[in-house]
Amino acid sequence: MEPKASSASQPFWEATKEQKFLLPWCKDCEKPFWYPRVMCPHCLGESIEWKEASGQGSVYASAVHWKPGMPPAGDLKPPFVVSLIDLEEGVRMLSNVIGCEATDVHEGMSVKITWEKLSDGRFLPQFEPAS
Amino acid sequence: MSYDLREARGKAAIVGAIDAVSSTGVLEGSTRALEVAMIRGALEDAGLTIGDVDGIFACTGGMMMHSMELAEYLGITQPCWTDTTQTGGSSFEVLVEHAAAAITLGHCEVAVIVYAMNPRGARKSGGGGGMGGMGAAMAMMGGESPQMEWEMPYGLRMPMGGYAMSADRHMSQYGTTSEQLAQIAVSTREWATMNPNARYQDPLTIQEVLDSPLQCGPLHKLDCCLVTDGAGALVMTSAERARDLKKPAAYVLGTGTSHTHSMPSAMPDLTVTAGAVSGPKAFRMAGVTPNDVDVLEMYDSFTITVLLALEDLGFVKKGEGGPFVAEGVLGPKGSRPAQTNGGGLSYTHPGMYGMFLLVEAVRQLRGECGPRQIENAEIAVAHGCGGVLSSTSTVVLGTESTL
Ligand SMILES: [Zn+2]
């Protein structure tokens, strides 16, 4: 299933068309947050600034999907892995780790961003081994 | 000046408790018909009538306004308390907490809490499904859902994928093993062999759990709860009124509720649930410690759910749940008997299992459990967990001797 952009995440999805990975930062408390919201979940601040992220992170936890439910947006056949990625900037996001065996993905593994084309010109951020 | 919760200890009680499950997993009849049967049964169990009921608690069974739709159907026209709080599987512990508070403060005197779902029966007849109007509610909301935007596109299987990530993290952080998780399913099955209503009653081995297919690794099929039909109801009233009723009451000694997130990618720490808040709060109000607990009924949607609950409630230190359960302590011969009806893993699981934790806790305190009865049971804990390890609610119950 392809993601439906919300009003709060419009800038994020627009930038993916150029494969730019933006994170929302709060101008009031100067912290990044994930997922995009109409306000900052640390302080309820409404001044949000989008900054490009490094795309580097490490794996926090994974689930190897041998028997998936709904099909993912990307072209993935089971077993594929769904992981939580701790980004360098200090937020955690859910994604797929591709480009290696699903069962080889492990906690602490360094990953970097890669892009999966969606049907409307946007790209879905995914991750692959950094080395 | 704030109210000291400890003053509410033992002021309300569960006085009627009933459930309906089937060893085939299928119950006949609509969810509404099942709800009516459960309410009738629970009132009869308590020695009360529908005319006594002035508090109505339901969070499934209708389309949106569950307690209103149910009350109208039952012919209850002027309840003093209405409650449709929905926190997934922990909802019924939350509703017991709300009912106890409402009764203690005098808002209502006799509360009915009910649940029915027939995912199997509905599947067979091609109707409805088990989510209690959730599909309709989602369609009405129309707009935006963080989960549809940030989780579903990655194929995260709901809810199992979230639990699998949690198990994975517990393993990498604390060295917990698949064998240790499997032992939870095995111990729970030992209880089910003594329950003629349980869906699965044949003994289970660790190897059988490990040999069952991986669904979302590291969780195997037999790490996961059942999908069955099921229904239940509770009747609650004040401690004063409880003393004159038909059966021994289960007094509400303490309650606590919290939640950490809704969708699993927003869980702050995959190895710590809201039980670390709801449990200690309930114990403090009850004036008991984990050591005082005779009967422990923990939500077991997955084996990892139990492991985390044991740690968060303080039955074992954080991270040490694996070696603790590996000794078989949760089984009938163990030192920490738990899920004594066979649990969501082997007894029944219609989607929101919390009702059955409470019904079994009451039965144990009354001494009604036959071969699986825990001797001299005086203090019981029902610990619900809803969403994807998202919400927890802990209820401490006690016999009259604990007041
Ligand atoms: Zn802020």
Please report the residues numbered 23 through 82 in chain A whose beta carbons come closer than 8 angstroms to any beta carbon of chain B. 35, 60-74, 76, 79-80, 82
B115 CB-near residues (< 8 Å, 6+ apart): B35, B38, B58, B59, B60, B61, B91, B92, B230, B231, B232, B233, B350, B352, B355
| Res. B133: pLDDT tops 50 | no
Chain A nearest C-alpha distance from B225 (Å): 16
Q: What is the A38 CA–ligand 1 centroid distance (Å)? A: 11
Is residue A14 in a domain? yes
Which residues of chain A have a CB within 8 Å of the CB of B160?
63, 69
User: A36 is in which domain, residue-wise?
Assistant: 10-129
**Joined tokens for residue B13:** 């009680």
Facing B153 at nearest CB: one of A73, A103, A108: A73
Helix, strand, coil distribution of chain B in percent, nearest 5: 40, 20, 40
What's the confidence (pLDDT) of residue B129?
40
- As a whole number of angstroms, the distance between CA B296 and CA B303 comes to 15
- As a whole number of angstroms, the distance between CA B215 and CA B301 comes to 14
pLDDT band at B135, cuts 50/70/90?
very low
- As a whole number of angstroms, the distance between CA B69 and CA B88 comes to 19
Is residue B319 in a domain? yes
| Res. B207: pLDDT tops 80 | yes
- Interhelix angle B354-366/B91-105, rounded to 10 degrees, is 60
What's the confidence (pLDDT) of residue B144?
75
| Res. B273: pLDDT tops 70 | yes
Is residue A110 in a domain? yes
- As a whole number of angstroms, the distance between CA B200 and CA B198 comes to 5
What's the confidence (pLDDT) of residue A1?
83
Is residue A29 in a domain? yes
| Cβ–Cβ under 8 Å, residues B270 and B260 | no
Domain count, chain A: 1
Cβ count near B39 (within 10 Å): 26
| Res. B137: pLDDT tops 80 | no
Domain count, chain B: 1
pLDDT band at B374, cuts 50/70/90?
very high
pLDDT band at B189, cuts 50/70/90?
very high
What's the confidence (pLDDT) of residue A74?
86
- As a whole number of angstroms, the distance between CA B378 and CA B393 comes to 20
Q: How far lies B383's CA from each of B254, B255, B300, B400, in Å?
A: 12, 10, 10, 21
Taking CB atoms within 8 Å and a gap of at least 24, the contacts of B139-145 are: B140/B64, B143/A6, B144/A4, B144/A6, B144/A7
Is residue B205 in a domain? no
Using the beta-carbon criterion (under 8 Å), do B270 and A61 form an inter-chain contact? yes
**Phi then psi for B291, rounded to 5 degrees?**
-65, -25
Which residues of chain A have a CB within 8 Å of the CB of B213?
66-67
Helix, strand, coil distribution of chain A in percent, nearest 5: 10, 40, 50
Which residues of chain A have a CB within 8 Å of the CB of B218?
64
Q: Report chain A's terminal Cα–Cα distance, integer Å.
A: 29
| Res. B182: pLDDT tops 50 | yes
Mean pLDDT confidence for A75-102: 97
Mean pLDDT confidence for B306-320: 98
Is residue A58 in a domain? yes
The percentage of residues in chain A with a pLDDT greater than 90, rounded to a whole number, is 95
Interface test with A, best of B141, B145, B149, B172 (most A CBs within 10 A): B149
Return the residue of B nearest to A106 by Cα.
B172
Span B46-78, pLDDT tens digits: 999 999 999 999 999 988 999 999 999 999 999
Mean pLDDT confidence for B221-236: 97
| Res. B127: pLDDT tops 60 | no
What's the confidence (pLDDT) of residue B123?
62
What's the confidence (pLDDT) of residue B124?
59
Using the beta-carbon criterion (under 8 Å), do B172 and A6 form an inter-chain contact? no
Span A25-60, pLDDT tens digits: 999 999 999 999 999 999 999 999 999 999 999 999
What's the confidence (pLDDT) of residue B132?
41
| Res. B341: pLDDT tops 90 | yes
Is residue A2 in a domain? no
Mean pLDDT confidence for B365-388: 98
Query: What's the whole-number average pLDDT of chain A?
Result: 97
pLDDT band at B121, cuts 50/70/90?
confident
User: B268 is in which domain, residue-wise?
Assistant: 8-122+225-398
The percentage of residues in chain B with a pLDDT greater than 70, rounded to a whole number, is 94
Segments of B26-102 assigned E as strands = 55-58, 81-83
- As a whole number of angstroms, the distance between CA B256 and CA B34 comes to 29
Using the beta-carbon criterion (under 8 Å), do B216 and A67 form an inter-chain contact? yes
Q: Read out DSSP for B129-173? A: -SSTTHHHHHHHH-S--HHHHHTGGGT--TTHHHHHHHHHHHHHH
Is residue A45 in a domain? yes
| Res. B134: pLDDT tops 60 | no
Secondary structure letter of residue A22 according to DSSP: E
| Res. B179: pLDDT tops 90 | yes
Is residue B304 in a domain? yes
Which residues of chain A have a CB within 8 Å of the CB of B150?
3, 35, 93-94
Is residue A51 in a domain? yes
What's the confidence (pLDDT) of residue B14?
98
Beta bridge partners of A61: A84
What's the confidence (pLDDT) of residue B2?
74
**Phi then psi for B103, rounded to 5 degrees?**
-70, -45
Lowest mean pLDDT among A123-127, B128-132, B254-258: B128-132
Taking CB atoms within 8 Å and a gap of at least 24, the contacts of B171-179 are: B171/B218, B172/A61, B172/A106, B172/A107, B172/A108, B173/A107, B173/B271, B173/B319, B174/B271, B174/B319, B174/B320, B174/B321, B174/B322, B175/B322, B176/B307, B176/B321, B176/B322, B177/B322, B178/B210, B178/B218, B178/B220, B179/B206, B179/B210, B179/B326
| Res. B128: pLDDT tops 50 | no
What's the confidence (pLDDT) of residue B140?
45
pLDDT band at B12, cuts 50/70/90?
very high
Which residues of chain B have a CB within 8 Å of the CB of A126?
154
CATH of the domain at B230: 3.40.47.10
Torsion of CA B209, B211, B216, B222, to 10 degrees: -30
**Considering Cα of B364, then B369, then B371, then B376, what sign does the dihedral take?**
positive
A119 touches chain B (CB under 8 A): no
What's the confidence (pLDDT) of residue B136?
42
